[in-house]
Amino acid sequence: MIRHKAAKHPRAGERMSGADTVIQVLADEGVETVFGYSGGAILPTYDAIFRYNEQHRGANGQEPMRLVVPANEQGAGFMAAGYARSSGKVGVCLVTSGPGATNTVTPVRDCMADSVPVVLITGQVARPAMGTDAFQEAPIVNIMGACAKHVFLVTQPERLEETLRTAFEVARSGRPGPVVVDLPKDMQNWVGEFKGGGVLDIRGYRQRMESLATAKLSDRKCRQFFDMLKQSSRPLLYVGGGVTSGNASKDLTEFAHTFNIPVVTTVMGLGAIDTQDDLCLHMLGMHGTAYANYAVEDCDFIIAVGARFDDRVAAKAELFAPLAEHVAHIDIDAAEIGKVKKVDWAHVGEAGRSLRQLLEYGRSVGFAKNFTPWIKHVQAMRKKHAMGYDRDNLKIQPPLVMELLNRLTGGKAIVSTGVGQHQMWAAQYLDFREARLWLTSGSMGTMGFGLPAAIGAQFANPNRLVIDVDGDGSIRMNLGEMETVTTYGLPVKILLLNNCGDGMVRQWQRLYFEDRFSASDKSLHRKDFIKAAESDGFGFARRVSQREELESALAAFIEFPEAAFLEVMIDPDAGVYPMVGPGLGYQQMVTGSYIPAREMTVRSGAVKIDPTEMF
């Protein structure tokens, strides 16, 4: 094979500072937006961004590398995450040392838990001061080492360029994740030759990535898979966020339709297949649809793709899919295979490539089996056990808000959420016609995620409708970012479902703690969110308390061309149903009073739970 020599970088051989090197590498990596908050230990790099933009400003005055300054560093981290989740590109965050860096620990861990590619560059005190408890020094390598996919500490200026290029490579390759580059101030001020290329020698990692990218299912393994599918009468695809992060949505949909297999998704997998698709049974798990969970109960073959059998799906592995005679698992991370649920067939590789190989094999051997009776069964369950709520209640019911919103967006808006009941209502009742429209903190469950994530998504998708569905508890966590929305002229829509408390905690206390509402009434009741929105410059800021006002208010909210804030005062006693209690199986699912249940399940009330099973 002839290898063509890469074109020489136009700036190769120039002498430049470490800070200028950082910015040039970001430009080479295609970075157009950087989220961050400045400080002493990162000022040289911030100055380099300013100078780079001055030198490369477009004819229309547009800056080639936009620097977005949030209210705090946590917000910057979640903005980078929202940017990455909605675009598939690597998000970039740039903060100072000490508290600036430690404020990003939560976003980094959140990205790691949900496999989101982000590069975080943290300023650090100069090398001679490290370890002396210098002003704004923090041991970032030690702190982030347990949270990130990888952490680099730059101590050799000649390797700065290669380190940054490698950071992007690691963040986006394999199972994506956050990479931290800790950058001492003297490394930023160093002046040396820009090489214009090169990466660090991480040979073992690259070999593993090459193996993943080229992993081929043998005919024997394909035959084993289709032998299990042939034996099956009730197969079910169980799909997670790995299908989205692996850009395998089209492959999944084609696979499901070719072999006529219904699909359930995790909360992270929403949108991996069009939720309006006839084969999509929507979300399974603790707050999944009743019919999705019943399909799991009834299936005889589970095919997991990019999913990890987490505790919100399989709280007790032995109770998950009890009738399944076989379990197959495709995942890019070998550590996930057999970690929770024993499997009969597994393949470690990229989701899209793996599904295509199985599809090609199945077609080549003419595999065909009639699963029509099973399809009719799950479709009948979808009708019989449909989502429902108290439609006659004069208080505004949250599912009604979501249903009306869904009609207006048609499942085509990018939706981010905070964490809590509003998150689950959005997941249950909204449609997502394609991947990367649903942005939520799945594994970490981080309150305060929704608003900054929406900001990041709007920067990545300037021409799309972006909505933050939030709760009064969650939005308080990063309320300062409302000003970021208007400062940058973003048309982000914030829909606040206000139940004057931590609704999900109250629901658990109602079910499992005998109505002892300890600290969940949210004693912070003085906030007037409308005045807060108006003070931050929102041209549309409105509160709805009456049901008859809701539909027109939502329409006006969506149609408003700029940033809009709509607070809806919802029924504080509304619960999220269905609900599978902690440590229980789907047979013990609580469906509430408005979702028809099977006799084996619980219509209302709660099963007694051992406190050791909580969360």
Question: What CA–CA distance (Å, rounded) separates 131 from 83?
Answer: 34
Nearest to 238 by CA among 261, 257, 215, 254: 261
So which residues are the catalytic ones?
Answer: 73, 135-136, 185, 504
Provide the strand spans (E) within 177-270: 178-184, 191-193, 235-239, 263-265
Question: 494: part of which helix (H) or strand (E)?
Answer: strand 493-498
Question: What CA–CA distance (Å, rounded) separates 573 from 588?
Answer: 22
Residue with tokens 């910015």: 23
DSSP structural state of residue 7: P
- Indicate the SS3 state at residue 485: helix
- Indicate the SS3 state at residue 27: helix
Residue 40 burial by Cβ neighbours in a 10 Å radius (0-12, 13-18, 19+): middle
Residue 437 burial by Cβ neighbours in a 10 Å radius (0-12, 13-18, 19+): buried
Question: What CA–CA distance (Å, rounded) separates 170 from 224?
Answer: 33
Which residues on adjacent β-strands are paired with residue 150? 179
- Indicate the SS3 state at residue 202: coil
> 13 with 193: CB under 8 angstroms?
yes
Q: Which amino acid is at 42?
A: I
Rounded to 5 degrees, what are φ and ψ at 64? -70, -25
Give the length of the chain.
Answer: 615
Question: What CA–CA distance (Å, rounded) separates 91 from 88?
Answer: 9
Question: What CA–CA distance (Å, rounded) separates 162 from 192?
Answer: 14
